[in-house]
Structure 1
């Protein structure tokens, strides 16, 4: 009789134990599931972060490339501009003998001031105006008495430019160069004046095929062909 009672009281205990195990197992499963979910969330977050970092790196690289290309284009444009300016400067290697002037007596004009036709182009300017070398070359004549071409020219200069081309500047008040001196295009070589056979302050300018009187050509036509505007 007592054995049966003992057996019946043991069964509920076993049931409770099994229930506890099941509850514990269920809790472990729930905890394990939560852990798996947390791990999945962490992995997803890491992947997203990596993608964002890669996208940022690619954007930065693209910006750097764009900046480099823009810099390269700017440098190319600057080089092209400099090349164009150099070409323009080279093309304009001949200049007027004075900067501000009024053309007066022209080449081959007739008049009582000359024994024959006028041998050059006159530029009406005040005494003391800077006179410039129209092109680079070597001074072959300089001084009074037309630098050897006669007193009618007053103080004068002749520059050799090569290719049988010479320029002459006359009626000067002051000569700033000497024979044998090399001058550059646009360099000041004298001051204008009223010396020699002159009716007023001006510059007498010639282009010659030799250094001497009698070989002059039309200076305005010559300079225009070299790109000088009047």
Structure 2
């Protein structure tokens, strides 16, 4: 009897130690889990994973926004430059023929015209391409000077946006029609020797109206527009 009691008493400390170890293990697990939850939630006083992710995402978004803004500004600047270049090109005047020799000038006397010469003559072979000196709308095109008289032969008159008109005469062929819009440098005709002409050339005028009698010095006009004849 005494031995059995002694045996039971000897087992109790072992069970107590086991229970204590289990409880301690449980508490340890709770503490670890609790600490992990607190860390994941980003508790006050510690940066936390959420804070780090949030900061990194914000930096990435800001960098992307800055890059997109920079690209948009570059595209805007490129469009503005292209528009300025197009506007400059549209405002440019040019000589209506390529290789040429100057012959009769504005205001000179001659037996081929009743009054002072009303334009600048460019001596070129028949069939030389004639280009619009400036963009505008064709208001005259045809024989008999397009309506200005037979002395001009086949002729074209273009109205320009600045209130001036350009005339091209003695043509062998006309490639535009009345009402047609043309651009600076566009082919409008071929040079010739029609009308009152002693040799192949292009007669070129700058006028203040579409009609004969309103011509101004075309060379001086082109010089003011930055074109050297």
TM-score normalised by L of structure 2: 0.71
User: Greater Rg, structure 1 or structure 2?
Assistant: 1
**1:127 aligns to what?**
126
Alignment of 1:4-83 (within 5 A): 6=2, 9=3, 12-13=6-7, 15-40=9-34, 42-43=36-37, 46-47=40-41, 48-83=48-83
**1:203 aligns to what?**
202
Q: CA deviation at 1:172?
A: 1.1
Assess, with a 3 A threshold, how the Cα gap between structure 1 residues 80 and 194 changes in structure 2: closer, same or farther: same
Is the CA contact (8 Å cut-off) linking 2:106 and 2:218 kept in structure 1?
A: yes
Unaligned runs of at least 5 residues, structure 1: none
TM-score normalised by L of structure 1: 0.71
Assess, with a 3 A threshold, how the Cα gap between structure 1 residues 55 and 221 changes in structure 2: closer, same or farther: same
**1:108 aligns to what?**
107
Assess, with a 3 A threshold, how the Cα gap between structure 1 residues 173 and 18 changes in structure 2: closer, same or farther: same
Q: CA deviation at 1:143?
A: 0.8
Q: CA deviation at 1:147?
A: 4.7
**2:193 aligns to what?**
194
Unaligned runs of at least 5 residues, structure 2: 42-47
Q: CA deviation at 1:219?
A: 0.4
Is the CA contact (8 Å cut-off) linking 1:139 and 1:183 kept in structure 2?
A: no
Assess, with a 3 A threshold, how the Cα gap between structure 1 residues 75 and 51 changes in structure 2: closer, same or farther: same
Give the distance between the partners of 1:212 and 1:32, measured in 2 at CA.
109
Assess, with a 3 A threshold, how the Cα gap between structure 1 residues 229 and 36 changes in structure 2: closer, same or farther: farther
Give the distance between the partners of 1:163 and 1:76, measured in 2 at CA.
29
Give the distance between the partners of 1:35 and 1:164, measured in 2 at CA.
93
**2:143 aligns to what?**
143
Give the distance between the partners of 1:108 and 1:85, measured in 2 at CA.
36
> What CA RMSD, in Å, does the superposition of the two structures yield over aligned residues?
3.6
**1:97 aligns to what?**
96
Q: CA deviation at 1:111?
A: 6.1
Is the CA contact (8 Å cut-off) linking 2:148 and 2:212 kept in structure 1?
A: no
